[in-house]
Structure 1
């Protein structure tokens, strides 16, 4: 368990994290991680689905769950005065979910509808297509929620096995940030475990809630490291705009050069003053949205440039984006431009860490990925230590790597040069 006290706050964000995601599934079990996320809200021996929903709504806060490719999280932001009840509810859901077979069949239809909604969103399709293109046969290529056909055949027994083998320590991490002290949260968690009938154990696996153990691995087991696949894909859709995503291999989570990476992403495509925004949108009027994107995993990362434009502007946008990327690699940024980006990043870091949810997220990811926690002042100093030469060198390194291009939208003659 890992917590952070934020004096003066009347609220707390608490989450139970599982160090497993869709990446850890096989072809046969694809979709079970996301399906299980849904099922944990469907009832325990002492609470039905409506009671769980009402208990979360009563606090007036924010409660939800997320499934990602390497993580799953169940969280709630509530008043400190409601934290004991919410903690007990989350622990009960994670450790005592009914996982009823009839509820499983009903929820199957809900998830298929969710996937259909995602398939209607060109942006979701674009990013899924890009992952499928660059990761090939690797598990990271699959959508987090799997496909409709995979959900149709997913067995109830697969869900039960996934829960029994995955939702156990050391994969489980409890993280909290807000107005409660560490000792207060620890007491609430101990009480919640007792109320849930698991005490300090789930099966034969003890919950280690006494302290954080960053970098412990959390029982993930060995993972196959992916290899970036270059290429081009185009999903033709009847839309007004053409979605464009071009990119290459980037940096993994916790990479030593991550602060240089952050400066590069922001300078090239991280805001209204970024090079891509100014060049593609302001100077040429070729697109409304254009920005840099990055995905980071334990052992791999991707760097990309996203844009949405009319089909006839597609090639010009790609060419201009590559030109700006190359200019950053070949021409060292000025001191004034670097100072402006450092100021932007420093401000966004400090403002972001005023959120208890952001701090809870940071604590959990630090614990799971084994990244040392740094104070806001230390983070700012790390950003300030980045040099213009480092940014230019990294841009050149990324530019030299194999690239891929994904398109979603009307037919268009767009390619990487």
Structure 2
């Protein structure tokens, strides 16, 4: 458990994190992690779905859940005065979920509709296609929510087994940030855990009721062995009758917590991280070839990807790809000026500090630090790490990435685009 006190704040964001995601599923259990995210809102031993929904809504805050490839989180932002009730509710959901068979059958249809909605979103399709292309047969290649066919085939008993093997210490982490003090949050959590342990549900938090319990064990023996992926180069094209062509061009990047992550952040921002970035200025402002163009990065415990995204008219696709590669190579060949570097450092410093004024962002940072084992640094330390980045380091990293095998995913009308 980890908390951060933000004096003067009347709200608190608390989340229960599971150090497992879709990556930790097998072919047989694919979709279980996301399905569980839905099911935990459907009732516990003492509360039905309507009661849970009403309890969250009456706080006037923000409550939801997310499933990712290596993480699952159930969270709520509420007034500090409501924190005890919300903490109890979240712990009850994770500990004593009914996972009722009738609710499971009903929710299957809802999830299939959610997947259908995602399939209609060209952006979602593009990023899923890119992962499938570069990861091959690795679990990271699968969409977080699995496919409609896999959800149709998922068995209720399979879901129960996945829950029993996954939602247990040391995978579970509780993180909170906001106006409540550490001792206040610990007391609320311990009361909620004691209440959950006395219930009829299958979960026991006995191993993690202490105030100092952390996810250190989750890395060591909670997740089990994970196979490190290998980057696959190539090209894919999903044909859709859209107005625009979606483009995602990328290579292997840096994993979560890499020692060069601050150089990486500067590079991403300089190349495609805002309106003044090189890609935005070159592709959009100077030539008017696309409305959206930016850099992206996905980071996992043992792997990462670097990419350039753009959406443009099909006839402009090759020009956009060529320009993106040219700007990338220019950064590799020519060190950025001191003025450009200073501007990026200022941009990153400002965004980091402003972002950490949010209790949700701080809660997220605390949890990820615990789960991924990344040292938790103060805002001033983060700024100093960014300021220490040199132009030579940025240029060298751009060159290292440029030399790596690349993949290109396209979603949209028929067009002929090649990687030079």
Q: Which residue in the other structure is 2:255 paired with?
A: 252
Equivalent in the alignment of 2:304 = 301
Show CA shifts across 1:103-136 (max 9, x none): 0000000000000000000000000000000000
In the superposition, the TM-score normalised over structure 2's length comes to: 0.98
Asked if 1:345 is matched to 2:348, the reply is yes
Aligned match of 1:409: 412
CA distance in 1, matches of 2:348, 2:285: 22
Q: CA deviation at 1:86?
A: 0.1
Instruction: Summarize deviations over 1:160-217 as a string: whole Å, max 9, x none.
Output: 1111111010000000000000100000001111222349x94485124422546443
Gaps of 5+ in 1: none
What does the per-residue CA deviation read over 1:328-376, in whole Å, with 9 as the maximum and x for residues that have no partner?
Answer: 0000000000000000000000000000000000000000000010000
Counterparts in 2 of 1:369-384, with a 5 A limit? 369-384=372-387
Structural mapping, 1:153-168, within 5 Å: 153-168=153-168
Distance 1:205 1:196, change over 3 A: closer
Structure 2 SS opposite 1:76: strand
How far off is 1:20 after superposition? 0.3
Matched, 1:120 2:123: no
Residue in 2 aligned with 1:211? 212
Residue 43 (structure 1) aligns with? 43
1:273 to 2:279 alignment: no
Q: Is the 8 A contact 2:10 2:179 kept in 1?
A: yes
The whole-number CA distance in structure 2 between the counterparts of 1:208 and 1:295 is 33
Q: CA deviation at 1:415?
A: 1.5
Segment of structure 1 superposing worse, 218-227 or 140-149:
218-227
Match of 1:334 among 332, 337, 340: 337
Q: Per the alignment, in what secondary structure is the counterpart of residue 307 of structure 1?
A: strand
Aligned residue for 1:285? 288
Task: Work out whether residues 168 and 205 of structure 1, in 8 Å CA contact, stay in contact via their aligned partners in 2.
Answer: no
- 1:178 corresponding residue in structure 2: 178
1:243 and 1:179 map into 2 onto residues whose CA distance is 43
Alignment correspondent of 1:91? 91
- Post-superposition Cα deviations, 1:131-176, rounded to whole Å, max 9, x if no partner, equal 0000000000000000000000000001111111110100000000
Q: Matched residues in 2 for 1:204 and 1:6: separation?
A: 27
The yes-or-no answer on 1:189 pairing with 2:192 is no
Q: Which residue of 1 aligns with 2:19?
A: 19
**Equivalent-residue separation in structure 2 for 1:277 and 1:204 (angstroms):** 49
Structure-1-length-normalised TM-score: 0.98
Tell me the secondary structure at the aligned position of residue 44 of structure 1: coil
Is residue 400 of structure 1 aligned with residue 400 of structure 2?
no
The list of structure 1 runs, each at least 4 consecutive aligned residues, that deviate by more than 4 angstroms after superposition, is none
Aligned partners of 2:3, 2:101: CA distance in 1, in Å?
36
Q: Secondary structure at the match of 1:43?
A: coil
Equivalent pairs counted in the alignment come to 416
Q: How many angstroms apart in 1 are the aligned matches of 2:139 and 2:206? A: 27
Q: Distance in 1 between matches of 2:88 and 2:396?
A: 50
- Whole-angstrom distance in 2 between the partners of 1:203 and 1:217: 16
Distance (whole Å) between structure 2 residues aligned to residue 193 and residue 367 of structure 1: 20
| CA shift digits 1:248-281 (9 cap, x unpaired) | 0000000000000000000000000000000000
Q: Is the CA contact (8 Å cut-off) linking 2:272 and 2:293 kept in structure 1?
A: yes
- The corresponding residue for 1:147 is 147
Counterpart-to-counterpart distance in 1, 2:371 and 2:198: 23
| Whole-angstrom CA distance in 2 between matches of 1:250 and 1:216 | 27
1:366 aligned residue = 369
